[in-house]
Amino acid sequence: MRLSDQAVGTLMMALQKCLLEQIDIVEILKDFEFIIQGESQSELIIANPPTVSFDDEFMEELEEAKTN
């Protein structure tokens, strides 16, 4: 069994979220709900990917950093 591209992307988003918010990734990983899919039922997808949101202040800082 392998991780689907969606599952790999979800893991990367979870890592990014934890780095940005400076939180532990363990609880997010423990909450993932996996579903088997694919023609041969050989891929896992994650049914509940984390959400990542940015406030206006963060986006302004990011834009400012780009121009410097």
Per-residue pLDDT at 48: 94
- Report yes or no: 13 and 56 within 8 Å, Cβ to Cβ: no
Could you state, in chain order, the average pLDDT of each consecutive group of 10 residues for the chain (68 residues)? 93 91 93 90 92 77 82
Transcribe 1-58 into DSSP letters: -EE-HHHHHHHHHHHHHHHHHT--SHHHHHH--EEEESTTS-EEEESSPPP----HHH
